[in-house]
Structure 1
Amino acid sequence: MQLIIAEKPDQARKLAAPFPFKKEKDHITIEPCAVFPRGAVMTWALGHLLEPVPPENYNKEWKRWKLDCLPMIPEKFNYRVKRRREFSVIQQFAKQEKIKSIVHAGDPEREGEAIIRLILKEINVHKPLFRLWISSLTPQAVQEGFAQLKDGRETEPLFTEAVSRAYADWLIGMNASRVYTLLMQQHGVQDVFSVGRVQTPTLCLVVQREHEIAAFEPEPYWEVEAEFTHGHGTYKGTWTDEGESKIKSRELAEKIADFAENKPAELTNYTAKERKIPPPQLFSLSTLQSYANKAFKFSPKKTLDTAQKLYTKGLITYPRTDAAHVTKEEASQFPSMLAKLKNISAFTSYFPLNGQSVLNNKRYVDSRKVKDHYAIIPTEEIKDPEKLADDEKKIYSAVIKRLLAAHEKVCIMEDLSVKTLVDGRAVFRSKTSRMVQEGWKKILPSAEDNKTEKGLHNLYKGLPSKVTEAEVISKKTKPPKRFTEGDLIQLMKTCGRQLDPELAQVMKETEGLGTEATRAGIITVLKDRGYIRVTKNMVFATEKGEALYFAVSGTILASPEMTAKWEQRLAEIGEGKKGAGAFLEQVKKLTSHLVTEAQKESGEWKVDKEALPAQSNRKSGRKRTVKAGPCPLCSADVVDKGNFYGCSAYRRTSCSFTISKTILGKKIPLKQVKTLLKEGKTEKIDGFKKGEETFQAALAWDGENKKVIFSSRPS
């Protein structure tokens, strides 16, 4: 008889479903059948049943947060059982004499490998081990997987990789978090500063964008737009000089407009070029997360959790994948899947699909680009999305539509470019695009598709016209955009491109900071620990995030470089090319170096403890409400509301008092807000920007007009 250990109860039920089974309280019994001639017992782990032990388990002195206890470097990395009941069930069956072999049925990836093997290691059982390795939980995939079990030794290097990563992350995280927290306390900041190999460089990317936005100074420029009237209608064009349309002074722009007004014009160049846009690739987890964030405002974690539910229900394939391709074996099932989708009302209008089979299309089918798992696709167990919960419906439909789009024709756009010469001297250009063939965009339309400049069709070279209107348009350069959570997922995936060529190649192969499975969790950690906040899907760095950024700036903790090197070594361990010993010795040395360097540099840190209001309560894990002072309108408390300070009585009385944390490009310290609310006026603040002017001013409360105004601003 075999013991099968799944990762979760719902996964266990799916694995047992194709066979005759009986559900018991804490396990499932599979009756003797063709696949299991002697029957089997199915148990489950309920996720991580073991966790790394705390520092004090290695050394009692390490329980106290003291600089002289650092670095903490245990020679051996230990785990402990955290869910005893589930562990005991597995232990009981694993040691039974009737169990002759064990099937590892955890998720088919690095962490799944570790979850089950750590349990077996703790139980200290040494029976033959086999590995179930499947990317779908449909009955067919499950049956085929159990019929083709891997020898457990094949995937053992993945376990070594997972434990090595955990130990290395523990060394860096535990030591760096303690040293930065303790050193921040010396600067008067009583909060916990969590530091991590992936989370900290990710935070730095957000803060750097924050600085780019704050440092940005908008520059005014002007454009001249003319309307050309001819015998068949009108069209518009923008003045250009050697391809540049921006004019640096309004005076020059007005001269150009005055010159062009009522002048004769001739269309001197008309080109139309076709542009073919292929259907998008199939989803990897990161592209699904980015799509869902843009389309539905889902956080990356919500997308992953929803996709995991669909996987467990057997409706989509394994979601924690970095692949955008499938193998020919999977692609051979597409025709039967499409036949089922055709009969579901939500997709009927897309049929007949006009594209060819993708079986030989390497944009979608390429086994060389599939490592452990292929792209996220629907399984053959097609279901009507209308029968699912709303979140599941959205993700499931998105996955299906990607597959349908792959079987459609390319979208063909016609790009039109027009050059018009006014009075033989001034050049105006006009551009637009129009859709010639809708193709896959009938399934995945875009709002951009309808933004077409009218009047540029059916024109010809030599067409005479007259400028009937010439208008000067005032514009300003725009600052860099804030990241959305979807942007951040993609940035984590590609940020290594700024490294030197060798490391950039490593990051390309390992897909940047973190993995497909961990990026959503990293962003969640940054939010939970108060380093970033998300408002209307935009990611902002908090004051706490800024403080840590300045402390780690210039160290290896702020750069993707360390992650690039680590992922290279971890991949070699997981592939069985190298052992873990040398890698872990290097990490130990790095840990000692980080602790030493942080203490050397901490005296140079510029920490404004008044700018760090959201200090966490360690016991409750909750953030205390940050009060800035009494509301000048109703006397209730003014509190921190994220991007601004506002009246705490807003919901109760609709009191409208607010003050932004950033005014004219200058961040307003909490200390100054408190002064304003207490005394009615701040001290003079440097760094306000308006146009090209930078000035110093105080802020004051204007009681008559009930608003915050500038006071003492130089004339």
Structure 2
Amino acid sequence: MILYIAEKPSLGRAIADVLPKPLKKHDGYLEAANGDCVSWCVGHLLEQAEPDAYDAAYKSWKLEHLPIVPEQWQLKPKANTRSQLSVLKKLLGQAQQLVHAGDPDREGQLLVDEVLSYLKVSSAKLANAQRLLINDLNPSAVKKALSQLRSNREFIPLSTSALARSRADWLYGMNMTRAFTLQGRKVGYQGVLSVGRVQTPVLGLVVRRDEEIAAFQAKPFYEVLAHLADNASDAETLFSAKWQPSEACQQWQDDEGRVLAKGLAENVARRISNQPAKVLSVDEQQKRQAAPLPYNLSALQIDCNKRFGMSAKEVLDTAQSLYERHKLLTYPRSDSRHLPLAQFSDAPKVLAAISQGAVELLAGAEAPNPSLKSKAWDDSKVDAHHAIIPTEKVANLAVLSNRERQVYLQAARQYLAQFYPSYLYWDTRVTIDIAGGHFKASSKREQQAGWKQLFRTKEQDNEQDDDEACGLLPKLTVGQLLRCLRGEVVEKTTQPPKHFTDATLLAAMTGISRYVTDKEIRKILKDTDGLGTEATRAGIIELLFKRGFLQRQGKAILATDAGKGLIHSLPLSATLPDMTAQWESRLDAICQKELNYQAFMQPLLQSITQLVSEACQQLPTALAGVKAQKPAFRKKSYRSKAGMASKAGAAKARTARTSATKTGSTKTGTTKASTSKTTGRKSRAQSN
């Protein structure tokens, strides 16, 4: 008997649906007509044991216990899914062949592997176990995946990386949280001061941005525009060019080259008014812009927040529903924006499904060309999972919720763009001499719309063309004489940085190297995935809200007093992205077989020991007088009874649908010793 172990019931059902019929339903598994069985986990069936499992004394939080470092790591069955673990134990004893069908990421790899290890599966069975990688739950895609099984041993580094991350997060989060919570009580702060290797640097980003905005002092600066016309007539302005201050003006400029002296700008404007002008250079180049790559999760979350105001978690949950329930999108927790060449032959079917189910995307645009192969198709940039794209299933938009419809159309448009030619345009830049000063102007003129046909709404144009200059330049030649009709001083004011939103905070987490001061570390981090993973970033942001460290003001994300106090109480290294980003770099090195488990854990243990020692020697005075924050809840919406009744059925259905996936979730570190728990798959970001 072959036993397929999926990560969750929905994936298990998708696998069973392509096995020989009829299927027999049993408690916790499905049996095919040929005797093969499909069972599943429900998120993590196992969790890290709490500190008191190693020593009963650890149930009480005391500084003298720290740091707590298990000599022999222990996992324990989660109480609410213990029965499913028993089902797997029975089936594993009967199976001759095992197929690991966890989600195609490092956490999905560990989730099943740790069950096999915990249940002491024989080494012979483990050696022959195979790996099934499924990105699309539609039957044709599942059948194709079943024909491409790989040895599960290939993915041992992926599992080892996830295991190292899990244990490191437990050690760091549990020890640091206990240390600072206990010290916080000494200054009167009565809440739990949760510290994590990802959540805390993310909070630090927000705190520092808020303080930069609070300390910002607006300053006026000045630009000079020359309004130019043909020298042969007194015609109206043909175009305007902006003054480029010379080196002699540096003493009146700020670090960004902006002129701060109004008198200087006014003097330039006077000098150039009604003066001859000469074209010094004309640089006109044809440029092309390739279609934007298909989405990974972070890119999808960023665009959906910008366009629809959706939170990161809302986008993830919606994409997960489109993947599991509707089977309209491929695996959503992907960190790749590329596609395997083997899937290029499926493009006509996917395009046909989009054309039939999402007609509005093609309104006013030419038909996509399925023979075009964009730079998205690249095997070297795809491993366990590929970019998020629509499946071959035709969408019925009428049955989707508004959010599901928005996310599906967003992903579908991005996929369609791969089958249009590049956007071509003429980029023109000119330099003008007026009274010895240099002025520049530029314009972009479209030659071929290409993929931009799909992004022609005003909103989409704003997103795609932020960097494009407005207006067109007349035909100019080097040496041509013009006349400056007048100079104009334009007064502007320096602007503070903007508060983070879901979109910009996600972008900061993925492009974390921009916030690292050390040049060597920044160089390393440019090649990593940043803070957290695609699957955990949304949960990390939400966790900071739940713990009362962040708050929302409209779309803006701000730190609370408790959040600020925590960051100012911690050692600087714990609040910066440097350390945790280096972790991610080293965890990725384990995945790539460039580093082993011990090489990661040993220096980590030394670092945690030092940090805990420092924490015990100083008080978090920044939290003195700060009250523990309660998480913000949405205001209750009081609808009419009729309105509530009309939605009762839908709410009941949603509750039923989500109850299975929530089975694996548990509360995490918000009170006393529960802070140190490692939780189920859905809430694993909370240990970060």
Q: TM-score range by the shorter chain?
A: 0.7 to 0.9
Alpha-carbon separation, structure 1, partners of 2:577 and 2:433: 51
Instruction: Return the offset for 1:262.
Output: 4.5
Residue equivalent to 2:639: none
CA-CA distance at 1:347 after TM superposition: 3.5
Kindly state the Cα deviation for residue 624 of structure 1 after the two structures are TM-superposed: 11
- Counterpart secondary structure, 2:551: strand
Q: What is the letter of the counterpart of residue 520 of structure 1?
A: A
Aligned letter for 1:589?
Q
Relative to structure 1, the CA distance from residue 372 to residue 502 in structure 2 (aligned partners, 3 Å threshold; closer, same or farther) is farther
User: What is the aligned partner in structure 1 of residue 543 from structure 2?
Assistant: 525
Deviations 1:293-350 (A, max 9, x none): 2122222222222222222233222222222222210122213322443344223436
- Note the C-alpha offset of 1:63: 1.4
Deviation digits for residues 658-696 of structure 1 (CA, Å, limit 9, x no counterpart): xxxxxxxxxxxxxxxxxxxxxxxxxxxxxxxxxxxxxxx
The question of whether the paired residues in 2 share the 8 Å contact of 1:405 and 1:444 is answered with: no
Q: Report the CA distance between 1:28 and its aligned residue.
A: 4.8
Note the 1:82-481 alignment, pairs <5 A: 82-84=78-80, 86-92=81-87, 94-95=89-90, 98-126=94-122, 129-230=129-230, 231=233, 233-234=236-237, 235-242=239-246, 246-263=258-275, 265=277, 269-312=281-324, 313-344=326-357, 345-349=359-363, 352-353=366-367, 357-359=371-373, 361=374, 363-422=375-434, 424-425=435-436, 427-445=438-456, 446-447=461-462, 449=465, 453-454=470-471, 456-458=473-475, 467-481=484-498
Partner SS for 1:342: helix
Secondary structure at the counterpart of residue 436 of structure 1? strand
Q: 1:260 to 1:519 in 2, by over 3 A?
A: same
- Match status 1:562 vs 2:579: yes
1:69 to 65, 72, 76: 65
State the Cα distance separating 1:70 from its structure 2 match. 1.5
In the alignment, structure 1 residue 615 sits paired with structure 2 residue 611: no
The structure showing larger relative contact order (alpha-carbon pairs under 8 Å, at least 6 residues apart) is 2
CA shift digits 1:492-543 (9 cap, x unpaired): 2222363656644543443122222222222222222222223332222222
Distance 1:482 1:522 in 2: 18
C-alpha RMSD of matched pairs (Å) = 3.2
Alpha-carbon distance in structure 1 between the residues aligned to 2:85 and 2:382? 33
Per-residue CA shift, 1:636-675, capped at 9, x if unaligned? xxxxx9xxxxxxxxxxxxxxxxxxxxxxxxxxxxxxxxxx
Distance 1:263 1:301, change over 3 A: same
Where does residue 489 of structure 1 map in the other structure? 506
Q: Which amino acid aligns with 1:68?
A: E
Shift of 1:21: 4.3
Cα 1:561–1:3 shift into 2, 3 Å: same
- In structure 1, stretches of 5+ residues that fail to align are 33-37, 617-621, 626-640, 642-715
Contact 1:222 1:248 in 2 (8 A): yes
Displacement of 1:255: 3.3
Which of residues 52, 57, 63 is equivalent to 1:56? 52
CA distance in 1, matches of 2:497, 2:41: 46
1:141-196 deviation line (CA, Å, top 9, x unaligned): 21233344333433344333322221111111000011111112222222211111
Q: Which whole-Å deviations, capped at 9, do the CAs of 1:78-136 have from their partners, x for residues lacking one?
A: 2222244x432452354256543433222122211222233344444445543322222
Unaligned runs of 5+ in 2: 250-256, 636-688
Partner Cα separation in structure 1 for residue 158 and residue 283 of structure 2: 56
SS at match of 1:533: strand
Take 2:269 and 2:196, find their aligned partners in 1: how far apart are those partners? 57
Q: Secondary structure of 1:539's match?
A: strand
Deviates more, 1:523-532 or 1:333-342: 333-342
Asked whether the equivalents of residues 5 and 100 of structure 2 are also in contact (C-alpha less than 8 Å), the reply is: yes
C-alpha distance in 1 between matches for 2:355 and 2:448: 22
Measure how far apart 1:282 and its partner are. 1.9
Q: Secondary structure at the match of 1:414?
A: strand
TM-score (norm 1): 0.77
Q: Secondary structure at the match of 1:329?
A: helix
Distance 1:455 1:163 in 2: 57
**Distance in 2, Cα, partners of 1:78 & 1:336:** 48
How many residues align? The count is 608
Structure possessing the higher radius of gyration over alpha carbons: 1
Note closer, same or farther for the CA distance 1:415–1:509 as it changes in structure 2 (3 Å cut). Answer: closer
Q: Which has the higher helix share?
A: 2
Q: Take 1:350 and 1:332, find their aligned partners in 2: how far apart are those partners?
A: 26
TM-superposed CA distance for 1:265, in Å, is: 4.9
- Quick one: structure 1 residues 596 and 113, their matched pair in 2 at CA, closer, same or farther if it must change by over 3 Å? same
What CA distance in whole angstroms lies between the structure 2 residues aligned with 1:99 and 1:255? 87
Equivalent-residue separation in structure 1 for 2:503 and 2:140 (angstroms): 34
Identify the structure with the greater strand proportion.
1
CA 146–229 in structure 1, closer or farther in 2 if over 3 Å, else same: closer
Distance 1:425 1:161, change over 3 A: closer
Provide the rounded CA distance (Å) in 2 between the counterparts of 1:394 and 1:623. Answer: 27
Determine if contact 2:132/2:145 at 8 Å carries over to the other structure.
Answer: yes
Counterpart position of 1:31: 32
In the other structure, the counterpart of 1:682 is none
For the 8 Å contact 2:222–2:489, the answer to whether it is kept is yes
Kept in 1: contact 2:184–2:623 (CA 8 A): no
Q: Secondary structure at the match of 1:290?
A: helix
* C-alpha distance in 1 between matches for 2:510 and 2:217: 29
Assess if the C-alpha contact under 8 Å between 2:353 and 2:393 holds in 1.
no
What CA distance in whole angstroms lies between the structure 1 residues aligned with 2:583 and 2:22?
44
Please give the alpha-carbon distance, in whole angstroms, between the structure 1 residues aligned to 2:633 and 2:412.
Answer: 44
**1:59 CA displacement:** 1.6
Distance 1:290 1:348, change over 3 A: closer
Query: Structure 1's 547 and 266: CA in aligned 2 closer, same or farther, altered over 3 A?
Result: same
Aligned pairs for 1:526-565 (under 5 A) are 526-555=544-573, 557-565=574-582
Change (3 A) 1:43 1:87: farther
Q: What is the CA–CA distance in structure 2 between the aligned matches of 1:365 and 1:338, rounded to whole Å?
A: 16
In 2, are the aligned partners of 1:496 and 1:508 still within 8 Å (CA)? yes
Residue by residue over 1:193-234, the C-alpha shift from the partner in whole angstroms, topping out at 9 and shown as x without a partner, is 111111122222222223333333322222233434545542
